[in-house]
Amino acid sequence: MKITGTFTPQKTSERYTAMLLVDEPNQPSGQLLLAIDRLEPVLAPVTITHVSAMMAGADWRITLAGRGIFTLSAPDLPESLTPLLPKGARRSSFVGLAERLRWRGMIVICMLILASLIGIRAGLPAAGDYIARFIPIHWAKTAGDTTLSQLDQLFLSPSKLSLADRGRIDQIFASINATLPPDAIQPKLLYRSAPSFGPNAFALPGNIVILLDEMVEFANDDDVIAGVLAHEIGHVTNRHAMRMVARSAVIAVSVGLVFGIDDSFVEEMATLGTNLILSSHSRKFEREADKVSIQILQQLGRDPTSLLKLFDKFAAECGDGCNKTSFFDSHPGLDERRALFE
């Protein structure tokens, strides 16, 4: 059987058309081969070490030992791969698992999701925030490094900013760090490029701030860049990334205690419920980060209203859609954010 998808080699952001071959004529039983378009060797034996489905089953990510990640767009994994999956690999088949859980189990799961969206939205995030206070910094750093590694493999590319641009922005970032309390852990600034992300910057666990080339080009103003970086520092100082991770863990463990940690269907339901719950609370995080940004800019003697230039550019790009917030939005509408900075 030939399974067509895309392949991303380790430590690159390139994607190639590829195929996984299993049970083909003259192919030994139990062997899995990877065929990559435009890469040598044409065929290579591989081993699956991990399988994970994206939210709502949009794409499967199949990690191949020592090679990279094979991405497959399909509602279910092909049955021919089943004998080759590692123990405990997730197999997202709604129908098959629904048959195992029966209608009573499905009703309970639906009730659990509904409860998480309505009744537990305050309790579980609060528990996650409390737990996040006790997460050791080296755990947070490991989480950040792992996330960055995955992003580098799949989406991010090395920055193309000139040394002069980096040096100037490094000085801005250093001045922002100087406003932090003496005992605060100094965040680390990294540069990347990601045209598919557009103008953006984000904070990862472990006090990592990522600034994309696209944001530098889009902003084209040092005061605006200072505001963007100060906003991300606001995420860092409030430990937003680790609070999100802790909230997600609390929700997943709570579900697992009821249905069993290894139940892949429940894992996916927990992932969906987690994203719905956290999307609402992340808007609060964005407001907190904006307030920190204003405070830092004032301490630096920079004008916080300079960020209005950035909002105006975003507004020109997205029009009325910038102010249409919903349960799934992670940022407040631009008008709300403008009001804070004006």
* Residues 272-302 pLDDT 10s: 444 444 444 467 788 888 888 899 999 999 9
Most confidently predicted of 40-49, 110-119, 178-187: 178-187
Cβ atoms within 10 Å of 67's Cβ, excluding its own: 17
Structure tokens at 166: 């980096």
276 compared with 252, residue with greater pLDDT: 252
Token pair recorded at residue 259:
């249905």
Amino acid at 204: L
Q: Give the closest residue to 2 by CA, choosing from 16, 10, 39, 27.
A: 27
pLDDT above 80 (res 33): yes
Kind and range of the H or E run holding 64: strand 60-64
Q: What is the mean pLDDT of residues 56-85?
A: 80
CA pair distance 313, 221, nearest whole angstrom: 12
- The answer to whether residues 204 and 210 touch, using CB atoms and an 8 Å cutoff, is yes
- Helix intervals (H) in 119-262: 123-132, 137-154, 163-177, 213-219, 222-237, 240-259
Q: At residue 27, does pLDDT exceed 60?
A: yes
Which pLDDT score, from 0 to 100, does residue 123 have?
A: 64
Q: pLDDT value at position 176?
A: 94
Which one has a higher pLDDT value, 92 or 162?
162
Q: Write the pLDDT tens digit of every residue in 227-240.
A: 999 999 988 888 87
As a whole number of Å, the end-to-end CA separation of the chain is 61
Q: For residues 203 and 201, what is the distance between their CA atoms, to the nearest angstrom?
A: 7
Where does the pLDDT of residue 173 fall: very low under 50, low under 70, confident under 90, or very high at 90 and above?
A: very high
- Does residue 53 contact residue 60 with C-beta atoms inside 8 Å? yes
pLDDT at 265: 43
Q: What is the pLDDT of residue 168?
A: 95
160 burial via Cβ count (<10 Å: 0-12, 13-18, 19+):
exposed
User: Is 60 exceeded by the pLDDT of residue 184?
Assistant: yes
Question: How would you classify residue 66: left for phi > 0, otherwise alpha for psi between -120 and 50, otherwise beta?
Answer: left
pTM of the model: 0.57
Distances (CA, A) of 337 to 25, 198, 214, 308, 325: 61, 20, 21, 9, 12
What does the DSSP assignment read for 165-195?
Answer: HHHHHHHHHHHHHTTS-TTSPPPEEEEEE-T
- CA–CA distance, 237 with 241 (Å, rounded to integer): 10
Specify the pLDDT at position 177: 92
Distance CA(246)–CA(251), nearest Å, equals 9
By mean pLDDT, which of 136-150, 166-180, 187-201 is the weakest?
A: 136-150
